């Protein structure tokens, strides 16, 4: 068996389909990102890596982000690392099931001399129906061009707070188009108090992210109400399932999403690559 690289997102989606049996929430990254590439083809200078390994592994990596390997087998993960290392030794990290990430890291260390440290433990969640949540004052509205500046600032605050490996330059290049397209819902109560984004490029599901409440407005149920409203909207529009990711160590966000109806599916790990002296 060997790694198969894909340049056609449709072919990648078909080849990665067996991964859905190992966890729909985890596999949604592969299909969702590939559909996003169909909807908004990358520029010639953009970095995109799509690959599969028989029916037991898939990986997607874009720009400066980590390699997403999900619930791939360790054998597949090691093969992806060996394939990717010669041309992208500066890879930020890897995200997926712990055994697969361990195999990826071992091969990466042999190929590049770089080790890995844990950034965060992640939990993938699925929702098919929305539970009743307490009503709070305010209402949700759709983002538009007038929201670009403040919402970009809010997103930069979000990635700094949660420690996401997303550069300010990349965010400034990609976020405005999402905001203008209406990919965010904003909870308003005498001004914006929370926002939630989503990716609905795939026909049958959507992935919700990011979700952020401004610090002065926390603990009042705004994020719960906003995500519940957005979830109802997406399901009513024809999505069959919704997915999101939480930090395992954050009891607040895990409790919020459980109240809305999200069910934990799989746990994964995000590892950062570091130089030997790091």
H/E element, 148:
helix 148-162
pTM, to two decimals: 0.94
H/E element, 4:
strand 3-5
pLDDT of residue 277: 63
pLDDT of residue 167: 81
CB neighbours of residue 275 within 10 Å:
9
Helices 9-16, 24-39: inter-axial angle, 10-degree rounding: 170
273 φ, ψ (degrees, to nearest 5): -85, 140
Domain ranges, ordered by start, for the chain: 3-123+269-274, 130-260
What are the C-alpha distances in Å from 117 to residues 63, 64, 102, 110, 274? Answer: 21, 17, 11, 16, 7
Residue with tokens 């570091």: 274
List of the chain residues with pLDDT < 70: 277-278
pLDDT of residue 278: 46
Say which CATH topology domain 130-260 has. Aminopeptidase (3.40.630)
H/E element, 169:
helix 168-181
Q: Where are the alpha helices (DSSP H) in 217-275?
A: 222-236, 251-260
């Amino acid at each position: 068996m060997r790694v198969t690289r894909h340049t056609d997102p449709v072919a990648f989606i078909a080849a990665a389909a067996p991964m859905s049996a190992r966890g729909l929430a985890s596999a949604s990254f592969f299909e969702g990102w590939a559909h996003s590439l169909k909807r908004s083809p990358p520029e010639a200078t953009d970095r995109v890596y799509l690959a599969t390994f028989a029916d037991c592994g898939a990986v997607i990596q874009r720009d400066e982000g980590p390699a997403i390997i999900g619930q791939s087998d360790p054998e597949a993960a090691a093969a992806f690392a060996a394939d990717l290392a010669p041309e992208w030794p500066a890879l930020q990290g890897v995200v997926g099931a712990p055994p697969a990430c361990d195999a990826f890291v071992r091969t990466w260390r042999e190929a590049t001399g770089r080790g890995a440290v844990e950034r965060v433990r992640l939990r993938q969640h699925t929702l098919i129906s929305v539970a009743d949540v307490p009503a709070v004052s305010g209402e949700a509205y759709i983002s538009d061009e007038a929201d670009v500046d403040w919402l970009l600032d809010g997103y930069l605050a979000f990635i700094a707070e949660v420690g996401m490996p997303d550069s300010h330059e990349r965010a400034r290049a990609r976020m405005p188009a999402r905001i203008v397209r209406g990919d965010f819902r904003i909870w308003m109560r005498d001004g914006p108090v929370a926002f939630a984004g989503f990716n609905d490029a795939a026909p049958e599901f959507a992935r919700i992210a990011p979700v952020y409440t401004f610090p002065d407005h926390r603990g009042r149920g705004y994020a719960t109400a906003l995500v519940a409203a957005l979830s109802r909207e997406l399901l009513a529009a024809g999505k069959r399932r919704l997915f999101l990711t939480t930090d395992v160590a954050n009891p607040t966000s895990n409790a919020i999403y459980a109240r809305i109806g999200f069910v934990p599916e799989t746990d994964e790990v995000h590892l950062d690559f570091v130089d030997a002296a790091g």
